[in-house]
Amino acid sequence: MKKWYVGVDLGGTNVRSGLVDEEGNIESRDKRKSLPRVSAEAPVKQIVDSITKVVHEGGVPFSDIRGIGIGSPGPLSAKEGKILKAGNLPHWDNFPLAAVIKEKVGVNTYIQNDANLFAYGEWWKGAGQGMDDFYAITLGTGIGGGAVCGGKLLTGFNDNASEIGHTSIDYNGPQCWCGQRGCLELYSSATGLVRMTNEALVNDHIKSSLEMYRGKPEELNSKIIFEAAQNGDEFARAMFDKAGYLLGLGIVNALNFLNFERIAIGGGLAQSGDLIFEPARRALSERGFSSYNYLVSIVPAAIPDEAGILGAVKMVIDMEVGS
């Protein structure tokens, strides 16, 4: 008889759920646009609805579900099952999400940082399979990270590990909200790419199809820069090159701390493909330890739509076996 679990991935854009067996097969799945956060209850109801849908579609009674795992933006306390603060969920400050969901559906529920579970899912069933030391990045509006070290998910003493987006590559760089200056997120996220491009456009010697956004920083976005780069705009390509190269330098720092064999990159900006991956790989090649940087690969996430769900389930399985 199969053992059943539910994994949930709470993104800013979508809520995704899956009914999953102990081998990591997804029996049924659900994806819905994250609702406007008008109350503490609305997103809870949406999560419960999504869980209920995948359990019913899978034809499994709730009493057979051994556990629910949820990946959420942090900061959070996995031990206490609480969301401590959620930027896009103003009603969820210090919110006991795990206990609330358990009360609604009657199944033990565990939470963890979403980027950590993304990495754990990629490690279990995606780009990191079979590797003891692996890293994954979610490259979107911000930059998240997650690490598997010696075959274990790295969480740290209070679930704040792997915040690669908030590691500095320039201590004199621009101020970040987190307290540091020159955080990787200020350069290599979608927001960072737009920031750097607007900054460069101030120089009116720049010739580019993006000139029309000079003086209108709020109108520019990463999609516009991507399309310009796709159309051969040299300035737009140079901006991607800088974002990707600096991402690679952040990766070298991660590597010199964690010594992983592979790093996978998912998230919206990763879909820019070689515009990001080529310069990131160049940075690794130029600035990583030459004694072993050629053994390390930077690859696209293999299962970006499922990694969060599967990582959440694997976390629950680990807890059962006391791993």
Instruction: Name the residues that contact a copy of itself, by CB under 8 A.
Output: 75, 84-85, 131-133, 147, 149-150, 152, 154-164, 166-172, 178-182, 246, 249, 252-254, 256-261, 286-293, 295
Q: Where are the beta strands (DSSP E) in 210-290?
A: 262-266
Ramachandran angles phi, psi of 99, nearest 5°? -65, -40
Count the residues in the chain: 323
Closest approach of Cβ 136 to a copy of itself, in Å?
A: 14
Measured from the CB atom, the residue of 68 and 148 that comes closer to a copy of itself is 148
Closest approach of Cβ 42 to a copy of itself, in Å?
A: 25
Closest approach of Cβ 180 to a copy of itself, in Å?
A: 5
**Residue 209: is it exposed, middle or buried by C-beta count within 10 angstroms (0-12/13-18/19+)?**
middle
Closest approach of Cβ 211 to a copy of itself, in Å?
A: 27
Measured from the CB atom, the residue of 112 and 208 that comes closer to a copy of itself is 112
Measured from the CB atom, the residue of 160 and 209 that comes closer to a copy of itself is 160
Query: Six-digit token pair at 122?
Result: 């990629």
Closest approach of Cβ 164 to a copy of itself, in Å?
A: 7
Greatest alpha-carbon pair distance for the chain in Å reads 68
Tell me the CA distances in angstroms from 239 to 190, 200, 206, 243, 276, one per residue in order.
Answer: 11, 9, 12, 6, 10
Measured from the CB atom, the residue of 150 and 232 that comes closer to a copy of itself is 150
Measured from the CB atom, the residue of 178 and 212 that comes closer to a copy of itself is 178
Ramachandran angles phi, psi of 207, nearest 5°? -110, 120
Nearest Cα to 244, choosing from 171, 204, 184, 303? 184
